[in-house]
Chain A
Amino acid sequence: MAERSPATRRTLWLVLSLVFAFLYIPIAVLVALSFNEGGLPTAWSGFSLKWYASLAGNSAILSAALNTLIVALVSTAIATLLGTLLAIGIEMRRQYGKGLEALIFAPMIIPDIVLAIALLSFFSMLNLTMGLHTIILAHVVFNLAFVCSVVRARLKSFDWSIVEASADLGASALTTFRRVTLPVIAPAVIAGALLAFTLSVDEFIIAFFTAGAGRASTTLPMQIYAMIRFGITPEINALATIVMAVSITALTLSQRLNRGIIGQ
């Protein structure tokens, strides 16, 4: 960009500092409080891990964490498979209708609450007993759309003639996929899977509506929501810190893989 006066540059740095302060202070306060011995938000009484230890003894939180892990792993596995196949299928075609594009884009923009009530109505109309399995069915819907969009971005620069060459040389479709296509798209598939995993771990509203009655299929976000409604406790701070650390790690990894793609 054009040359800037020192005053302009100072203003720009000030803007950046203020925005980053706005973005990070709330999170930083939360993380700091999770290590506060006294547990009160009002006074710092020394560093302690006791709130983390008390989480480990909270069976409701542990079972919610286990449920979340099951939902996230299973829905990510299904979504990664379906989303990747979908991406390859679309990109293989030279043209596709706007309707198809809209259908794949829809799960990413439909308001959560709408998809949540739609699935609730649907499952109850079918008289399906709801539980972890219905949350998984629901999470695959948006997860596969995200995986598909990440893999498609990678396939945009894919040279399809190498697939043809492989076929001409006598490789079966499966061999070609395994030896030619997959190595090229693998980073994007993993990046998409990590994204899907994080989205599923963090998803609250759709899980809340499709979990059915009873506490058996409570996921971590549902547990956190219930705890927050009850009030501020040092345990939520500790739990929040762990959940944030997990999703930020997964997404940083995903981002790195994607950058690798751009770098090539």
Chain B
Amino acid sequence: MKHLPSRSSLLMAPALAWLAALMVVPCALVLALAFFRRGIYGGIEYTFTLENFGLVFDPLYAGIFLNSARIAGTATLIAVVIGYAAAYAIAAAPRRWQPVFLFFAVLPFWSNYLIRTYAWIVLLNREGLITQLLRWFGYTGEPPSMLYTEGAVIAGLVYNYLPFVILACYAPLSRLNPELAEASRDLGASAATTFRRVILPLTVPGIAAGAVFVFVLSIGNFVTPALLGGGRFQMIGNLVYDQFLTANDWPFGAALAMALIAIMLLVLMAQALAANRASGHAAQVGGDTDG
């Protein structure tokens, strides 16, 4: 084919220029900001320093990082368990129903994030639906405080990102060759062993993709901790927000944002590794059945 590379470049140029000017340059600027000092009156003093990165590891802030990682990790774990079960059930449903179920599983994901989070305030507040239900069942005590807890933040994160996990896990589950599971059962493996040794390893890439998505979006989240945690559960996203909009310490905020990106890249690298190992295992399982 005689594709003209010059024409291709011409077509790509406007979009790439836009990304360069409004993504690459601003992000590079943030990286640079992280190495400057905060001015006395909140501005930026252009002297080189590593202080901001040191401050990230200060016990106070390192604690918030660990806290965020714990909350994001818990949300990820719960979302993966529920999402995998849902994806498994969808993949086991009659073929013609699968696209319908999948569509309705993903649909909430396309509605406004703030609104989906707000829906949980309506459910969890002291006079919310859950309290009403408890009353209806004869509960007369004080309304339980569920809103503004770590549990509420986790519930909100799981709720918001679950559809993506379902989608990610469904892909490998629907492609699974049923003969593999049958062969495993015929050879005397129990259902549990078959799941653990055959089905689960083959669907690891889907789990990894879903888990990475939930974790990355959760750890940098700012809206859910602010709304469902009531500001009591600071996560990295809130910390970055504060540095830029209230504390006015942009260099430190920039360092925090870079730490967030570093965590994200680490997680993505771990995912790539997991996917590689899984494809190795898939080849092995496939080879076994051929032989």
A residues adjacent to B (C-beta < 8 A): 1-2, 4, 9, 12-13, 15-16, 19-20, 22-27, 29-30, 33, 41-42, 81-83, 85-86, 88-90, 92-94, 103-104, 106-107, 109-115, 117-122, 125, 137-138, 140-141, 144-145, 148, 160-161, 164, 173, 198, 201-202, 204-205, 209, 221, 224-225, 228-229, 232, 236-237, 240, 243-244, 247-248, 251-252, 255
Contacts and interface: CB of A to CB of B under 8 A. Distances in A.
Q: Which 10 A-B pairs have the closest CB atoms?
A: A89-B11, A111-B220, A89-B12, A118-B26, A86-B15, A26-B119, A122-B26, A82-B15, A19-B86, A251-B110
Contacts of A232: 121-122, 125
Contact of A26 (B12, B123, B253): B123
Interface in B129-172: 129, 132, 159, 162-163, 166
Contacts of A138: 22
Contact of B24 (A93, A103, A164): A103
B273 interface: no
Contacts of B285: none
Interface in B52-92: 82, 85-86, 88-92
Given A19-B105, A111-B220, A114-B27, 7 more contacts: A1-B181, A27-B119, A42-B127, A85-B12, A86-B16, A89-B12, A243-B112
9 contacts: A19-B162, A33-B122, A82-B14, A110-B27, A114-B220, A202-B114, A204-B114, A243-B111, A251-B107
Question: Does more than half of chain B's interface fall in helix, strand or loop, or is it mixed?
Answer: helix
A36 B117 CA distance: 20
Nearest to A42: B127
Contact of B22 (A94, A120, A140, A252): A140
A224 B114 contact: yes
By size class, the interface of chain B is 35 or more
B15 A144 contact: yes
B26 A93 contact: no
B250 A30 contact: no
Contacts of A26: 116, 119-120, 122-123, 159
A50 B5 CA distance: 60
A234 to B, nearest CB: 11
Contacts of A93: 3, 5, 8
Given A12-B93, A30-B119, A121-B26, A20 B127 contact: no
Interface of B: 1-5, 7-12, 14-16, 18-19, 22-27, 29-30, 33, 82, 85-86, 88-93, 101, 103-105, 107-108, 110-123, 125, 127-129, 132, 159, 162-163, 166, 176, 178, 181-182, 185, 216-217, 220, 222-223, 227, 237, 240-241, 244-245, 250, 253-254, 257, 260-261, 264, 268
Contact of A229 (B10, B19, B227, B257): B227
Contacts of A115: 23, 26-27
Contact of A29 (B90, B129, B162): B129
